[in-house]
Amino acid sequence: AQSVTQPDARVTVSEGASLQLRCKYSYSGTPYLFWYVQYPRQGLQLLLKYYSGDPVVQGVNGFEAEFIKSNSSFHLRKASVHWSDSAVYFCAVSANYAQGLTFGLGTRVSVFP
C-alpha cells in the first residue's frame, strides 16, 4: 500500500516570495505522482504530474516539482507567489488507475501582500 506525507500543515508566505511545499511518499514500486490544488469550497485541480523521464516537471501557473527517487520525495515549488495562490495543496500517489489516488493531508498556503 502507498502513503503520502505532507509535513507542513500550514505555510505563510509574502507575495512575490518563493514557495516550496514538501511531499514524501511511500511505495515499493515506481509511483505516479501528482500535485493538486483546492480553492475554498471547490473541487481539486491538477497542477502537475510525474510518470517517468525528466524528474523536474512543469505545471500550470508557474509551478514545478522535482521527483527525487533516492529521497522518495516530490516537492512542489514556485519562484514567485501571487495572492491568488492561497489555497490547499495536496500531494497524491497512485500505483495504477484502478486503485485511485492516495492523498496527503494537504498544506494550506496563505499568501499575504
Q: Residue from 32, 63, 67, 74 that binds other proteins (CB under 8 A)?
A: 32
Nearer to other proteins, 53 or 97 (CB): 97
Place of cell 516550496: 20
Q: Residue from 18, 26, 45, 61 that binds other proteins (CB under 8 A)?
A: 45
Q: Residue from 41, 52, 53, 54 that binds other proteins (CB under 8 A)?
A: 41
User: Closest approach of Cβ 100 to other proteins, in Å?
Assistant: 4
Could you give phi then psi for residue 59, rounded to 5 degrees? Answer: -125, -160
